[in-house]
Amino acid sequence: DYTPKKSDKFTFGLWTVGNIGRDPFGDPVRTPMTPEHIVHKLSELGAYGVNFHDNDLVPFGASAQERDRIVKSFKKALEDTGMVVPMATTNLFTHPIFKDGAFTSSDAKVRAFALQKTMQAIDLGAELGATTYVFWGGREGSETDAYRNPVDAIKRFREAINYLCDYVIDQGYNMRFALEPKPNEPRGDIYFPTVGHMLHFISTLDHPEMVGLNPEFAHETMAGLNFVHAVAEAIEAGKLFHIDLNDQIIGRYDQDFRFASENPKRAFFLVKLLEDSGYDGPRHFDAHAYRTEDEEGVWAFARGCMRSYLILKEKAQKFNKDAEIQGLLAEIRAEDENYQGPSASDGYSREHAQQVKDYKFDVTALSQRGRKYEELDQLVMELLLGVR
């Protein structure tokens, strides 16, 4: 059966199941739940942990006593359930002070305030055991480039991440950063819109080894890109520190749908990639229930995310064991594997380059060979549609 276990490492943000259904056109449709209630319910459903923005737990502007009271009660819920907090992050987008960004704001006081808020939120995350700290550049962007030079925005974001890496090192926290790209929404454009942009940016930091990615299915999809390929690039670079799972239709608003609800085939290849690659971090759902739902619908949503992941994981195992699929793959790969001539993987030498230049290829035969991907893909479809 597809009942999640703690060992599956499923996590949800407090803001995900806690989403009250406010949107640009309508008021909230659900009453807020306490973090403690969320922790207990998620634990009952088989989740492993819960993540939060500072203000999902401690309201903006709360006093120190209020903070400590809230943290104490939240810790008790964690202890009572065995739930963990693998990841924490900062809300640098809701309060009006961040209307023109946080670390990239054009106002030096706002940039300094963002640092202050983030260091306090890092302390909160560390206190609750978080080992991954996420940075999503919520309002780090623009509607017009008339005012701020985007080159300055890049430099400011770098200064902030470098500063905060030093803070974490100085405090001795066991914590890595995971940067989360998104192309747009809530800004017209957000800086560092894709996984590729972020990967390069990381290579320019003072402590690149401390910083990786938190890619999100919906975000690459909003940009019209293949999320599986983006995750592959992060994995190959050793930078998949965390992942946000949800679903999204290309070209729409930021939907944050239940995992695998819109693109089950792409979700299948994603789950297969994660499982085959040995990724052992949390499977975090950054999604929320439809606005049509009451609390019961929220838990149906949460169960659905985890259940679909486990079903797709089983399908990936079936793919790897299916004799017909594996036979067809072997047949397709045979010529490639039997090739004896020179190739790039031999490494470069002047002599080798001459061998490549002299090698005689049967261009006609190579061009005419069908790839059998139609047949293969249909087998995948039939596996997914449940008739294999």
Question: Which residues would be at the binding site for Mg ion (CB under 5 A)?
Answer: 216, 244, 254, 256, 286
How far is Cα 314 from Cα 310, in angstroms, rounded to an integer?
Answer: 6
How far is Cα 154 from Cα 203, in angstroms, rounded to an integer?
Answer: 13
Closest residue to ligand 3MF, judged by C-beta, is 136
CB of 29 to Mg ion, least distance (A): 17
The residue annotated as part of the active site, out of 8, 53, 100, 244, is 53
Give whichever of 100 and 216 is closer to Mg ion, judged by the CB atom.
216
Instruction: Give catalytic status of residue 107 as yes or no.
Output: no
182 binds ligand 3MF (CB under 6 A): yes
Task: Give the per-residue contact string, 30-59, with ligand 3MF (x = CB under 6 A; - = no).
Answer: -----------------------x------
Task: Give the per-residue contact string, 204-233, with ligand 3MF (x = CB under 6 A; - = no).
Answer: ------------x-----------------
Look at phi and psi of residue 80 and say left if phi exceeds 0, alpha if psi is from -120 to 50, else beta.
alpha
CB of 33 to Mg ion, least distance (A): 19
| Among 305, 330, 312, residue whose Cα is nearest residue 380 | 312
Q: Supply 31's token pair.
A: 């009453």
CB of 218 to ligand 3MF, least distance (A): 7
How far is Cα 219 from Cα 243, in angstroms, rounded to an integer?
Answer: 11
Give whichever of 19 and 131 is closer to Mg ion, judged by the CB atom.
19
In contact, 13 and 52? CB cutoff 8 Å: yes
Instruction: Give catalytic status of residue 95 as yes or no.
Output: no
Distances 243 to 75, 212, 234, 237 between C-alpha atoms, Å = 24, 11, 10, 15
Q: Which does 15 bind (CB under 5 to 8 A by kind): ligand 3MF, Mg ion, none?
A: ligand 3MF
Distances 387 to 56, 299, 315, 320, 378 between C-alpha atoms, Å = 43, 29, 12, 16, 11
134 binds ligand 3MF (CB under 6 A): yes
In contact, 47 and 113? CB cutoff 8 Å: no
Task: Give the per-residue contact string, 72-91, with ligand 3MF (x = CB under 6 A; - = no).
Answer: -----------------x--
Query: Per this entry, what is the length of the chain?
Result: 388
CB of 17 to ligand 3MF, least distance (A): 13
CB of 134 to ligand 3MF, least distance (A): 4
Q: Catalytic residue numbers?
A: 53, 56
